[in-house]
Amino acid sequence: MTPPEPSSYLVLALLLVAALLFGLTPLALAWLWARFFSPAKPGPTKHAIYECGLESRGDAWIQFRSGYYLYAILFLIFDVETVFLLPFAVAFGGLSIGGFVAMMVFILLLAEGLVWAWQKGVLAWK
């Protein structure tokens, strides 16, 4: 007799909790250790930001370069494409050659976007 298989959701929920505990337990232990054996001695230098030993100038919370944004848009196009590709791939075993060609045309349309971006010089990291 084998025990009943637990449902996937139960296992994943338990694993989520277990993994969280796996990370939190040593953090709690380290906190306890610090509490009893190494009292905190904060200081302006110690809690300053570490940038190669020089005093930090200006804030790090600044605006992004737009270059990253263009890559993010390209990524979004192809990430959404894979969402369409996955059901196609699962059904691929039963598809005729016509279905395959239709999917290739779809990919070609997106590849055109990549070629356009390439020609525009978006992909050149400056």
| Residue selected from 55, 63, 66, 93 as contacting another protein according to rule CB under 8 A | 93
Q: What is the DSSP letter of 119?
A: H
Alpha-carbon span 30 to 26, nearest angstrom: 6
Distance, CA of 33 to CA of 70 (rounded, Å)? 47
In the list 7, 63, 66, 119, the residue contacting another protein (rule: CB under 8 A) is: 7
What count of Cα atoms within 13 Å lies in the side-chain half-sphere of residue 120? Answer: 8
CB of 23 to another protein, least distance (A): 4
d(CA 105, CA 111): 10
Which of 15, 35, 112, 116 is close enough to bind another protein by CB under 8 A? 15
To another protein, the closest distance from the beta carbon of 124 in angstroms equals 7
Q: Are 70 and 122 in contact (CB under 8 A)?
A: yes
Q: Could you give the CA distance from residue 58 to residue 69 in angstroms, rounded to a whole number?
A: 24
**Helix, strand, coil: what percent of the chain each, to 5?**
65, 0, 35
Task: Rule CB under 8 A: say whether 116 interacts with another protein.
Answer: no
Write down the least CB distance from residue 27 to another protein, Å.
Answer: 6
Which of 8, 63, 66, 119 binds another protein (CB under 8 A)? It is: 8
**Footprint (CB under 8 A) of another protein, residues 25-84:** 26-27, 29-31, 33-34, 37-38, 40, 42, 44, 46-52, 56, 58-62, 64-65, 68, 71-72, 74-75, 78-79, 82
